């Protein structure tokens, strides 16, 4: 772990850049058809490895990528979430994707709240979006709990061109007013 990279903490979670030890659980998430249904679908282990390595590389190249989400009580990797702005993306996103055994615990909302604070306060972003498949009711609920509103359809870059996607989001001033 590089000490120059950020780490965030919430009541129940530790958010930090991905580490090699996270890959087994990352690969499990990538191999779960239900968990990946709205984020591009299943990934064979070799493809999951490349997406994992790309996330690690984004941290080093740009200083912006999703955090590994670590459950404090167990030390277990439960997902990835945070700031995300790859080439061609429709905006400055804070996204989330959790291992199925972490669903329903409020981790997405808890972790995304910390990541949005980080995006606005440290990265200096003025708006945050969440790219959500219109059929993904669970992520829409997370977006609503975060105070985001539906902004409308957006086009994702290759290889996701043509996939249904809506942007949910809010500005920094809206976020700060809600947090007071």
Q: Which two tokens stand for residue 179?
A: 């947090």
Query: Distance (Å, rounded) from C-alpha 91 to C-alpha 157?
Result: 11
pLDDT digits (tens, 9 = 90+) for 31-44: 999 998 998 888 99
Structural domains of the chain, with CATH: 8-179 (3.40.630.30)
Q: Give the DSSP letter of residue 100.
A: G
pLDDT digits (tens, 9 = 90+) for 52-81: 999 999 999 999 999 999 999 999 999 999
User: Does the model's pTM come out above 0.85?
Assistant: yes
| Helix ranges restricted to H, 38-148 | 45-62, 107-121, 137-145
Q: Which two tokens stand for residue 24?
A: 């087994």
**Residue 64: CB partners within 8 Å, gap ≥ 6?**
58, 83, 84, 85, 123
pLDDT digits (tens, 9 = 90+) for 83-135: 999 999 999 999 999 999 999 999 999 999 999 999 999 999 999 999 999 99
């Amino acid at each position: 772990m590089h000490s120059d990279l950020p780490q965030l903490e919430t009541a129940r979670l530790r958010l930090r850049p991905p580490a090699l030890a996270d890959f087994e659980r990352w690969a499990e998430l990538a191999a779960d058809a239900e968990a990946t249904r709205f984020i591009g679908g299943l990934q064979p282990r070799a493809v999951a490895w490349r997406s994992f390595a790309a996330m690690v590389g984004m941290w080093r190249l740009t200083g912006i990528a999703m955090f590994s989400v670590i459950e404090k009580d167990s030390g277990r990797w439960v997902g990835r979430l945070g700031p995300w702005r790859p080439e061609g993306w429709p905006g400055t996103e804070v996204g989330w994707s959790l291992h199925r055994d972490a669903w329903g615990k409020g981790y997405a909302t808890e972790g995304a709240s910390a990541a949005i604070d980080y995006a606005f306060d440290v990265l200096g972003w003025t708006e945050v979006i969440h790219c959500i498949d219109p059929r993904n009711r669970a992520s829409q609920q997370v977006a609503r709990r975060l105070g985001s509103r539906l902004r409308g359809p957006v086009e994702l870059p290759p290889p996701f061109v043509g996939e249904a996607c809506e942007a949910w989001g809010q500005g920094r001033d809206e976020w700060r007013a809600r947090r007071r």
